[in-house]
Structure 1
């Protein structure tokens, strides 16, 4: 087998494929050809000459950056193959957000898989992660790559939110969610739990919620949480309601207008009590769009690669775990992927 770093190697701009002359999720500056795993801004940047991704990811990028976000785009469905300068590339579902994909790269008998961000939990808003058989080198994220991170069942966290709504009918539950992926997942989980009333959303979530619905994800009745300050008592209609918005929005004037707000935050980091306390979160909801420690290690065992590369996260702990298992592993230490931004 050829050396893996002849096919993919870490560079300051991101993971680079020399024979194919393309980058996977380039993070620094525009490149001629980019293969993008998903639509979060720390992986999907505008300005590249050519972008290859799933149709859903390209739609997300167009929604966020405008139709001219790249010189040219090439949609690639899951399982469909394309040749780039003699390198075979195809995409497999990653289970992170709508359209998220693992990038499978094959050349001279070597198969390498870059997961991008992924999770193994059920998510009604995107395709589930699918392990790629015959993987020689598995390049895994490690956002929650410490044994302390073991996320609870997401349905249980949603039940906790609904119990709080019932127990505090005079308060407005302000739920912090990231605009892409987390917002739509929490909304859909609430619907599955039997909450069919109108959900109020910050305007920053509106465009992406509409995009999800255009891709067949029914989110139920949604209204923009607009506060008309000229109307006396307008904020009272939000008493006892659930309002979803970007976490930062609840600390500005907009968030402070709601009656007796009860701040919540849906994040894997809410498993760290000190983080919740420092953020002023009264009801932490441990709902993550990344694999936790058990999911990371179970996935490596399931894929069973000849070599494990680890990136953007807690690399050292997962490298040590792999070594104790008798696996060959290395940290990539790529920079530019933000651990907090889109988990």
Structure 2
């Protein structure tokens, strides 16, 4: 790798910083200028002086934080020049509006991937491989044990359970941005045309996906009283994980508790959460896709933001690849 490629990015207490362009990427504290990869709260925070992001990410931040979430905001379109740096946004395949951020100057480039997935996601644009000299990656599921099954197989297990237990509602824990809409779309692709009931915390973001032309089908509020909830036998109900620790869940009579997450591959986690039907559905790369991406892009060096960097550093050593863990504080593993 050219010696000056790593000069494009450095690490500050606020997070990744580009000195030549004078901006941060996904900073964990308010800064003067922030470039945001996607709308999850561990990457997109309020209070920055200026924000540059995809139009959908800006909309999602406004939904979550209010219209005044930043001093100014700019939609990332084409090439944007900041200082002496060219910046381009490329799809990341993670959630609606998610992007990788490419930074280019002096004939070299770096790509900050944010969170990303190589598995087709009907709720967002697919990951776009961008050749680069420096690649900044997550490592949420960076252990060889994490080999996620095809999402369609997990949805088939869900629908088989719905058919086997028609007298019980199926309550699915799914995060409000991305996972909930993905589960809904996967159900629709599998031919499940029945109404799907959603917790109130999911309503606005589901409405936004509908506004963006993503066909989620017949969605109905799961805000009924206890008597009405008991009538939802055989229905699919989606709620954020926090709802399962609230009185809301008690209105359902003997529901099947499910949870959609890459972590459900670890059965002990499912048991700890009282999950009867673990659904291994992730919006992050698993071990095979993570290592395949690194081999495909073949950057001169890669940096690891968070996750299981120990295993990935060992892999890099065996592959004779240059790598560095950043130990970024403030990013979470598949949560909002």
Same-fold status (TM-score > 0.5): yes
Per the alignment, residue 151 of structure 2 pairs with 154
Which residue number corresponds to residue 35 of structure 1? 35
Per-residue deviation, 1:149 = 0.6
SS in 2 for 1:187: helix
Q: What residue is the counterpart of 1:102 in the other structure? A: 100
> Is 1:295 aligned to residue 292 of structure 2?
no
Q: Distance in 1 between matches of 2:224 and 2:181?
A: 22
Please list, as runs of the form range in 1=range in 2, the aligned pairs for 1:60-209 lying within 5 A after superposition: 60-77=60-77, 80-133=78-131, 135-209=132-206
Please, which runs of 5 or more residues in structure 1 have no aligned partner?
A: none
**What is the deviation of 1:237?**
2.2
Paired with 1:11 and 1:275, the residues of 2 have a C-alpha distance of 34
Deviation at 1:341, TM superposition (A): 1.2
Q: Provide the C-alpha distance between the structure 1 equivalents of 2:171 and 2:322, rounded to a whole number of angstroms.
A: 45
Residue 278 of structure 2: aligned partner: 284
CA deviation string 1:307-328 (max 9, x = no partner): 1111111112111111211111
Q: Is the contact between residue 225 and residue 251 of structure 2 (CA under 8 Å) also seen in structure 1?
A: no
Q: CA–CA distance in 1 between the matches of 2:66 and 2:144?
A: 40
SS of aligned partner of 1:300: helix
Which residue of the partner structure matches residue 14 of structure 1?
A: 15
3-state SS in 1 of match to 2:161? helix
TM-score, reference length from structure 2: 0.98
Q: Over residues 120-151 of structure 1, what are the superposed CA-to-partner deviations in whole Å (9 max), with x where a residue is unaligned?
A: 00100100001002x10111111001111110
The alpha carbon displacement at 1:2 in A equals 4.2
**Correspondence for 2:320:** 326
Correspondence 1:3 to 2:1: no
Q: Which residue of 2 aligns with 1:212?
A: 209
Q: Shift in Å at residue 191 of structure 1?
A: 0.3
What is the TM-score normalised by the length of structure 1? 0.96
Q: Assess if the C-alpha contact under 8 Å between 1:114 and 1:139 holds in 2.
A: yes
Specify the SS of the correspondent of 2:48. coil
Task: Give the structure 1 partner of residue 269 of structure 2.
Answer: 275
Aligned pair 1:58/2:58, yes or no?
yes
1: distance between equivalents of 2:32 and 2:229?
50
Task: Encode CA deviations 1:176-228: one digit per residue, 9 max, x unaligned.
Answer: 00000000000000000000010000000000000011111010000000122
Q: State whether residues 94 and 128 of structure 1, in contact with CA within 8 Å, keep that contact through their aligned partners in structure 2.
A: yes
Shift of 1:235: 2.3
The equivalent position to 2:308 in structure 1, one of 302, 314, 318, is 314
Counterparts of 2:284 and 2:229, CA distance in 1? 35
Stretches of structure 2 that go unaligned for 5 or more consecutive residues are none
How far did residue 339 of structure 1 move?
1.3
TM superposition outliers: structure 1 runs of 4+ over 6 Å: none
Q: Secondary structure at the match of 2:70?
A: coil
Give the CA deviation at 1:251. 2.5
Q: Distance in 1 between matches of 2:76 and 2:212?
A: 16
Is the contact between residue 202 and residue 246 of structure 1 (CA under 8 Å) also seen in structure 2? Answer: yes
